[in-house]
Amino acid sequence: MGNPQEKKLIVVSAPSGAGKTTLVRHLLETIPDLAFSVSATTRAPRQGETSGKDYFFITETQFRAAVSSGDMLEWEEVYNGTFYGTLKSEVDRMLNSGFHVVFDVDVVGGLNIKKHFGSRALALFISPPSVEALEERLINRKTDSAEKIKQRIEKARWELDFAPEFDLVIVNNSLEKAKTEILECVTEFLNKS
């Protein structure tokens, strides 16, 4: 299994709709000793989502208790009353099981994880080709109301300002090209001693 201290962390952040979940899924399907860090959230499950697999769906009270007890590696109130965060206990469990850990988290959370783990973590920012392209993707996804899309686009403009703070920016203009690029840089990072 190796020393849990030698295991590495891959942080993937992006504005909503930039393709990070698809790219993280690609990494998980391709790299055998990579485990997914399931985030906790107070939002309601979307159709087809399973607690413990997609997210840990918890109440705001449970979430605040985890923050108070120091069991949140990072957390944020992403939208008014909707919290997302990473449980330290889950990350420790995966590292102790001999896995490298990949995170699909928002920009602020991603930078906080990078700060916590330093050089053991690779922080990747997935950028849409443009804000317009992002808006088109969100509309075509048909999962959000016009108001929610407007909210996500405003947040995306703000998030794009953080891209230079990440170790690497991957522009997702072509999904196949982005998949190749993310796999190459993650493999290189994991193989580096």
Residue-range domains of the chain with CATH:
4-191 (3.40.50.300)
Report which of residues 163 and 140 the model is more confident about. Answer: 163
The mean per-residue pLDDT over the stretch 109-134 comes to 94
DSSP annotation of 1 reads -
User: Who wins on pLDDT, 97 or 80?
Assistant: 97
What is the average per-residue pLDDT within 15-30? 92
DSSP H or E run through 13: strand 9-13
Residues whose CB is less than 8 angstroms from the CB of residue 150 and which lie 6 or more positions away in sequence, other chains included: none
Q: What is the pLDDT of residue 2?
A: 55
The vertex-124 CA angle with 193 and 74, nearest 5°, equals: 95
CA dihedral 26, 163, 4, 90 (to 10 degrees): -70
Task: Tell which wins on pLDDT, 85 or 142.
Answer: 85
Is the pLDDT at 74 greater than 50, yes or no? yes
pTM tops 0.75: yes
Q: What is the average pLDDT value for the chain, to the nearest integer?
A: 92
Within 8 A by CB and 6+ apart from 75, the residues are 63, 67, 83, 84, 85, 86, 109
Stretch 55-84: mean pLDDT, rounded? 92
